[in-house]
Structure 1
Amino acid sequence: MTSQETRGTWSSREPSSQPMQSVGSMYTRHSAMSTSRHRGTQPKTSYMPPRSTPHPSSSLRKRPDGAKRYVIEDFRQAFERKGMELDTTRKLGRGKYSKVYKAVDRNNNRLFAVKAIDVLELTSDVKNKFLPREISCWRKLKNPYLVSLHAQYEAQNMIFLTMEYGSQGDLLRYVQDNGGIDERRAGQFMSQLMRGLQYMHSKQIAHRDIKLENIILFDNCVKLSDFGFVRQVDNQTLSLTFCGSKSYSAPELLRGIGYNPFLSDVWSLGVVGFVMVTNRMPFDEKKPNNVIVELQRNRQYVIPDSVYLSSSCISSFEAMMTFDAKQRPSSNDCLGLPWITPHIEMASRRSG
């Protein structure tokens, strides 16, 4: 497998005859007011939203309707013929319909993450709309601050997406393990994420599920991942799919009105910035939507007394979390925010 994106079907397995089509309106839940890990609880891992009920680990199973169902171990030899060695001893991440594993390409000793999707588990909405949309948009995204898609393979009822592997896990786990991030380093992360987001928006693609779990740490940068709710749309079209995590959702989503997905992305990234430096969520998702909206309107969040933040930092994430979407800066405008611009200029000087 080369570094360029490829697509193939393994002849050793018959390709699935079922068509692919996204999930409807849904929110994934997040810890209410703090990112601190609870004692005895496993950290959330990144590449996808958490699932509530894990699949059994048996190799070959049958559905009630008699259809065969395969798991990733059944395709180990097929991966080996591609020069890929799978590590299925532990999962990097788990989603409602998919699991992510680590793999090494023995042709070049590069590490990859492999997202295994069980097509038989997908709802018709996911199969026919969201998954094809995810793959189609992801192929178009080539940016140093977005996790890149390397290859797509289909066999039997499984779809495999191989992507960049981030050895340091996701940003939620990092904050859980280390607490709030120093304002300067968080500003570096924000500048990288904003550049990745601005690039997506320049391609008319909105992410719609920005949260700490979907940000992967690499050796020298962070990258946005998990494009399961992406949508390609022009600036004038409003979205009516209320997806993503409630804790990171802009007020217009919580109010259930049509929203500009590009501007809702900016709000969500503002929440990410707040969480990075304070180690807490700005709003408690356990409250009713109408209560959260009023808290958002009045900026009723708490910055811990133990945390000192500069006016540049506070004014920047507050600008991103502007209640009125029409007054909220675009991702391109956000590149000029005082917490973000200095790190972009510094990176430009180093690369120059």
Structure 2
Amino acid sequence: MENYEEVKNIGDGNFAIVKLLRHKETKALFAVKYISRDQTIDERVEREIINHRSLHHPNIIQFKEVILTPTHIAIVMEYAANGDLFDYVCNQGKLSEDEARYFFQQLISGVSHCHDMEICHRDLKFENTLLDGRRIKICDFGYSKSRLLHSRPNSRIGTLSYIAPEIFSCKEYDGKLADVWSCGVILYIMLVGELPFGDQKDLKNPQKTVNQIMLAQYKIPNTIHISQDCRNLISRIFVANPVKRITMREIKSHAWFLKDLPKESTKGGQDVYYSSLQTIEEIMNILDEAKNLPETSSRDQLEDLAEALKKM
């Protein structure tokens, strides 16, 4: 890490901390996620690295590199300087329909790219939707799954208020359609300023929220004035049966979504590629080796592993 200097701590979680670092030579700022090099380095961490590094899109936080320290794996990423969408909407109260559509178009563009790469995010929410200026940047791929590399989703993953009904069944489900539901929750909150299912009072009674989600039971307050096209899109997203729910392709051709669509929202990622199975296996082997290295590992051992990761 001698190429970087710490600026400040910008986030703490159950399994990782995130710090803002500055590259000493270029002065560029990066967000660095530190994951303890112990039993927390599991399949989830492997999936996060493998899936995130394959995504190249203007509405997705760019993966830069992985660095090994004596105690942690450090994932270096693009830094979004303007916080997350949660703070933005909290400050605004709620957004106008035009502004909500502007952000929603970017969100869909980024999530659609993930799906084109056969990756479902599975934890889309305000806190994982960052802002760099006025540009949406999707982050945190810790719960993501690749249809090409991993088993079909079947676990109860995500944040309660954003979870699609089928996830509660504990059976296999389509992660892409579950992502569509979460995108709908984000859109609703931008427009209404409240959660569509449950509220802060219901946090102590999660079963009430679950029941509302299972029934797709929501309403748009009379005080919220939005167009019929917008109401139609929301009603087609909040459909309990995923087979009948609107698809990502259909969202992108919906009249409300297409209005004032920026040209950049129709662009895909650049230099996109699938990692070979051989490369993925090598990454997993390196991560296993990093997990098992003692904290007293020699500098040469760490540098060898770091160089191997950079060549992936």
TM-score by length of 2: 0.78
Q: Which residue of 2 aligns with 1:129?
A: 43
- Tell me what 1:314 maps to: 231
Which of 106, 119, 135 pairs up with 2:37? 119
**Match for residue 156 of structure 1?**
70
Q: 1:244-303, CA deviations, whole angstroms, 9 ceiling, x for partnerless residues?
A: 1011011111233321111100001111100111110011164454x5455346543232
8 Å CA contact 2:192, 2:224 repeated in 1: yes
Paired residues in the alignment total: 263
Distance, in Å, in 2 between the alignment partners of 1:237 and 1:341 is 34
1:159 to partner: Cα distance: 0.8
- After TM superposition, give the deviation of residue 336 of structure 1 in Å: 1.3
Question: What's the secondary structure of 2:42's corresponding residue?
Answer: helix
Deviation at 1:345, TM superposition (A): 5.2
Q: 2:187 aligns with which of 269, 273, 281?
A: 273
- Distance in structure 1 (CA, Å) of the matches to 2:235 and 2:225: 16
Q: Name whichever of 335-344 and 147-156 sits farther off.
A: 335-344
- 1:85 equivalent in structure 2: 5
Q: Is the 8 A contact 2:216 2:239 kept in 1?
A: no
Identity %: 28
Structure 2 CA distance for aligned equivalents of residues 226 and 310 of structure 1:
32
Using the alignment, how far apart are the partners of 1:301 and 1:348 within structure 2? 29
Per-residue CA deviations over 1:95-138 (Å, capped at 9, x if unaligned) read 11111111222332322111111123x44xxx221001100111
Which residue is 2:114 aligned to? 200
* Equivalent position of 1:143 in the other structure: 57
AA matched with 1:93: G
> Runs of 4+ in structure 1 displaced over 3 angstroms?
285-289, 291-294, 296-299, 345-349
Separation (CA, whole Å) in 2 of partners of 1:283 and 1:303: 11
Letter of the 2:143 counterpart: F
Alpha-carbon distance, 1:216 to partner: 0.2
Runs of 5+ in structure 1 lacking a partner?
1-78
Greater Cα shift, 208-217 or 249-258: 249-258
Distance in 2 between residues matched to 1:223 and 1:338, nearest whole Å: 24
Counterpart secondary structure, 1:344: coil
1:189 alignment counterpart: 103
Q: Which amino acid aligns with 1:171?
A: L
Find out whether 1:94 has 2:12 as its counterpart: yes
| Preserved contact between residue 32 and residue 77 of structure 2 (Cα < 8 Å) | yes
Residue 340 of structure 1: which of 250, 257, 260 is its match?
257
Letter in 1 for 2:218: Y
Q: Which amino acid aligns with 1:105?
A: H
1:177 alignment counterpart? 91
Q: Given residue 301 of structure 1, which amino acid in structure 2 is its aligned partner?
A: Y
Contact 1:170 1:213 in 2 (8 A): yes
CA distance in 2, matches of 1:288, 1:255: 16
Map 1:278-297 → 2, pairs under 5 A: 278-284=192-198, 286=203, 287-289=205-207, 291-292=208-209, 294-296=211-213
Where does 1:32-51 land on structure 2 (aligned, <5 Å)?
Answer: none
State yes or no: 1:304 paired with 2:226.
no
CA shift in 2, pair 1:102/1:293, >3 Å: closer
Distance 1:298 1:240, change over 3 A: closer
Name the amino acid aligned to 1:99.
I
In structure 2, how many angstroms separate the alpha carbons of the residues matched to 1:237 and 1:338? 35
Secondary structure of 1:92 counterpart: strand
